[in-house]
Chains A and B, each alone.
Chain A
Amino acid sequence: GAVVSQHPSWVICKSGTSVKIECRSLDFQATTMFWYRQFPKQSLMLMATSNEGSKATYEQGVEKDKFLINHASLTLSTLTVTSAHPEDSSFYICSAREIQGLETQYFGPGTRLLVL
């Protein structure tokens, strides 16, 4: 149980295009999902907290117009990187908070984004 999927796992795009990453909780409902960014050999950096049916809360320094987050249902959140540039290349990880039981965050497998 408590499986989180991400799609796509790998994406290469041209500079200036937009990329959408999906995060799904497969066997549980998640009112809260989190989006992280991880640079090589570094820890996870929280970008935003996504609550179902409301606007995301962004961490300081994260451009909300660049990283659009939509949490339309209890099992799906999306992150759209708009007008991507090479510096947006990174590993993006989502997690979902289980609202029953242990209330642990379960993580997706991550999406590797390369902007050319």
Chain B
Amino acid sequence: AQTVTQSQPEMSVQEAETVTLSCTYDTSESDYYLFWYKQPPSRQMILVIRQEAYKQQNATENRFSVNFQKAAKSFSLKISDSQLGDAAMYFCAYRRPSGTYKYIFGTGTRLKVLA
């Protein structure tokens, strides 16, 4: 069975600095999708970035980028030029490319941004 592990329950970053959130996963499949979702205090889940496993190029979305290491089964999120609005819970998620399409979520990392 697939599992997703986020080993950092909480992280802090100074405003305008860079922070990296880690995520590892376990799967025997070769094709899958990986996601990072942000959950601010409003609790609305917001898609930050997604990565298809068959793509070697790391996904980027403005200040957000990932370091996808398929062999190591690692999928870290880098936030550059951190802003106060980035403070939230961040969840890493895994999804198979077919079948039930359901996500497997990690336990989350709470990011604090210090002014």
Note all chain A residues with C-beta closer than 8 A to B102.
34, 46, 49
Given contacts A43-B91, A43-B107, A109-B42, contact A49 B100 (CB under 8 A): yes
B43 and A91 contacting across the interface, CB-CB below 8 Å: yes
* Closest beta carbon of chain A to B51's beta carbon, Å: 11
Tell yes or no: B114 within 8 A of A by CB: no
**Interface size (A, Cβ < 8 Å)?**
21
Note all chain B residues with C-beta closer than 8 A to A97.
101
A93 and B45 contacting across the interface, CB-CB below 8 Å: yes
Note all chain B residues with C-beta closer than 8 A to A17.
none
Chain B positions 76-115 with a Cβ under 8 Å from a chain A Cβ = 91, 95, 100-103, 105-108
Given contacts A43-B91, A43-B107, A102-B50, contact A95 B101 (CB under 8 A): no
A44 and B44 contacting across the interface, CB-CB below 8 Å: no
Tell yes or no: B68 within 8 A of A by CB: no
Tell yes or no: B47 within 8 A of A by CB: yes
